[in-house]
Structures are given as C-alpha cells and as structure tokens.
Amino acid sequence: MIVVMKKSATQAQLDEVLRRITDIGLSGHLSQGIERTVVGVVGQTHPELKDMLEMLAGVEDVIPISRPYKLSSREFQPESTVVQVGGVSVGGGELTVMAGPCAVETEEQVLSTARAVKAAGANILRGGAFKPSTSPYSFRGLGEEGLKILATARKETGLPLITEVLTVRDVELVARYADILQLGARNMQNFILLEEVGKTGKPVMLKRGLSSTIQEWLLASEYILATGNRQVILCERGIRTFETYTRNTFDVSAIPIIHKVSHLPIIADPSHGSGKWYLVTPLALAAVAAGADGIMVEVHPNPDVALKDGAQSLTFENFEQLMARLAEMAPIFGHSLPARAPAGASPQPHR
Ligand code: PEP
Ligand code: MN
C-alpha cells in the first residue's frame, strides 16, 4: 500500500510514518515527487494497517496498490525514473544508444568498435566479459581481462560501460569496472543475485527472462528496488515463442505496457530479440516508435568471425545506417538523439 502525505506534512510527521512502518516489521520506501510525497509500504500488509496509518498526522490518504509489484509501479511513483550514468540520462526524453560487441574478444576489437559506435552517436559501450552460454564448450568470456579492456575503451572514448555479471561471486569485481551492471535474461529470477547487485548502489539493467511474463519481470525488479537502489532500467530482449524463424520473438507491446504500469525506463534489444542482423534496424525503429527509452545493439568489426552472436551483430557501416534512420525518426516520436548521426541517404543494409 502507499501512504500519500499531505502537502503541508512536516519532516517529523513523515519520520513518524516511517517509524511506525518499520516498528511492525515492514519497510517504507520514500518517493518524493514534484506533486506529492508518498511512502510505499512493502512486506506482508494487513487491512488494519490502513486504518492505523490513516490516523497519523500529516497523512492524506492510504491506498492499497492493486498490482503485485509495488515499488516499480506507477501507482507508487507517477513520475518516470531517469537513471543518470556518467553524464548520460536513461529515460526522460533523450534516446540512449548502447552498442558494442556481444563479447569482449581482444583489445583491438573493443577499441575499434568503441570508436566506431561513438562516432556514429552511441552513448554507452556494451560488451560481455562474463558470458552466459547455453553450451559449456562455447566461448564464455575473458573474465577480468575483458573488464580491463572495456575500462581502456572507456578511458579513451569517455563512453560509460554496461557489462553483465553472472554470479554473486563476481558482483564486487564487475561493479569495480562497470557503470551499469547488466543482469541477463537467464538470471532474471536469480533472486539472490538481484539483491546483491542492488546492494552495490550502481545502476542495473534487468533483461527480461527468456520465458517471463511482464509481471514476473517487474516482480524481479522489486528485488533490486527493495534494496533501496532506484537506478533500475528494464530491457526487452525478446521472449521464447513457437516461432523458430527468429531466435526470440521481440515483444514490442511490452514497451507501452511497461510505460503504462511502471515508472522504470525501458531499453529495447533488437539483437537478441531477433538473432538476425537484418532485423535489427526494423525492430529498433519499431521499438522507438513504441516509446522505448533507448536501444542496445550488438556491433562487431567483422561479424563473420565473431566468437559470439555474429549472426545478429551489425557491421560498423550498418550501425551507422541504423543511427541515421534513428536520427530521422526519433524527433517524430518525441525523442532526441545523444549526438550527431551521419547525414545522407539511407542505403539498403548489406554485409
Ligand atoms: C547479452 O546481452 O549479451 C546477453 C547475453 O543477452 P540476454 O541475457 O538477453 O540473452
Ligand atoms: Mn549476445
């Protein structure tokens, strides 16, 4: 349930509400918006609690939150969350463009990609040093050496880094290098990991699970938010359906649904959402038209020899073309692009 404070409520009255909530073993989470101050009550609430809280001085109203997810809901926080990371705002109007290789392979590969995506207008560098892998025999990442390479690329280009953390064991290590911690689809319901990542206080991007409903996804985000970390970004990366032509089915409807029911920003990942490089641009454009706060795209200097996800990776040239198309259409949908995109015609993508 949420406790809506009166406009005239004092700090002492707010403190008293928070104290009562913690006294009975629940936790209170503050949302101080422009319009109103709200306390979200999380834990096993009971009907008498509403009467008790309503009687306290400074309280305007006590409203049960109808949805199972609480802190991620728009009922708790009507204003959209904007996550700040290294000078980049995720959410709030500017389109965020995260780009880079699926996996860190070599310093040269990462540096050349970072330079190319930056020149084309990306504002966050992606790349996996710890890779989740369906087969234990395929490439699983360079580990800390990969993180060091990413940090070198950040130093040269100034682009903040997003990279995945796979296990609780590596949270501390990855958090030392990353600006945003990525929680992958396969770990969306790894609840202990969600909490540990939340406790770092760093921005977290939570990808949608392979077969997860929107409600399960938002409930997973609650584990991070409940640690007090409000810097959560969601990422739609496609879900498993009966269709086999594409690697996953990109659920474009999830984007407006998330904006309706939640205040968290949402990024679209058309690379994993399709598995095919030539579908990346059309899906990215569809996602932006549907209201996505940004995109995450895999880019590789030579996708044909990529150690991971080459089939869905864009060449530098195709990424530039995607950015040019985005520059044309983003303003129509109320977004601005982070930086310049190359001008000129939009030729057909090719490899
Ligand atoms: C990735 O972003 O490289 C990745 C492994 O994605 P997902 O968790 O969505 O499969
Ligand atoms: Mn990948």
Name the residue among 54, 46, 51 with its Cα closest to residue 25.
46
Is pLDDT of 251 > 70?
A: yes
Read out DSSP for 202-215? Answer: S-EEEEPPTT--HH
What structural domains does the chain harbor?
A: 2-63 (3.30.70.1140), 83-333 (3.20.20.70)
Q: Write the DSSP string, 76-106.
A: T--SPP-EEETTEEESSSBPEEEEE-SB---
Rounded to the nearest whole angstrom, what is the distance from the C-alpha of residue 312 to the centroid of ligand 2?
8
Angle between helices 11-23 and 47-54 (to 10 degrees): 150
Please write the tens of the pLDDT for every residue from 61-101: 999 888 899 999 999 999 999 999 999 999 998 899 999 99
pLDDT at 35: 81
Ligand 2 being an ion, which residues bring their Cβ within 5 A of it? 102, 309
Q: Could you read off the pLDDT of 306-325 as tens digits, one per residue?
A: 999 999 999 999 999 999 99
Q: Which pLDDT does position 348 carry in this prediction?
A: 62
Residue-level pLDDT at 344: 43
Half-sphere exposure of 247 (CA within 13 A, CB side): 19
Longest CA–CA separation in the chain, Å: 67
Please list every protein residue whose CB sits less than 6 Å from any atom of ligand 1: 102, 128, 132, 184-186, 207, 237, 272
Nearest-CA residue for ligand 1 atom 1 is 102
| Ligand 1 atom with minimal separation from the 238 CA | 9
Q: Are 268 and 285 in contact (CB under 8 A)?
A: no
Closest CA to 309 of 50, 75, 127: 127
Three-class secondary structure of residue 30 per DSSP: strand
The candidate with the shortest Cα–Cα distance to 247, out of 215, 286, 218, 283, is 283
Atom of ligand 1 nearest to the CA of 235: 9
Tell me how many helices (H) and strands (E) the chain has: 11, 14
- The pLDDT assigned to 34 comes to 81
According to DSSP, residue 291 is labeled T
In terms of Cβ atoms closer than 10 Å to its own Cβ (0-12, 13-18, 19+), residue 237 is buried
Residue among 187, 233, 237 to mutate when testing ligand 1 (max atoms within 8 A of CB): 237
- Give per-residue pLDDT as tens, 203-249: 999 999 999 999 999 999 999 999 999 999 999 999 999 999 999 99
State pLDDT tens for residues 151-165. Answer: 999 999 999 999 999
The token pair at 331 is 């303003």
Residue pLDDT, tens place only, 178-191: 999 999 999 999 99
Q: Which residues pair with 97 in a beta bridge?
A: 295
- Examine the pLDDT at 341 and tell me if it is beyond 80: no
Among candidate residues 331, 251, 298, 255, the one with its CA nearest the CA of residue 101: 298
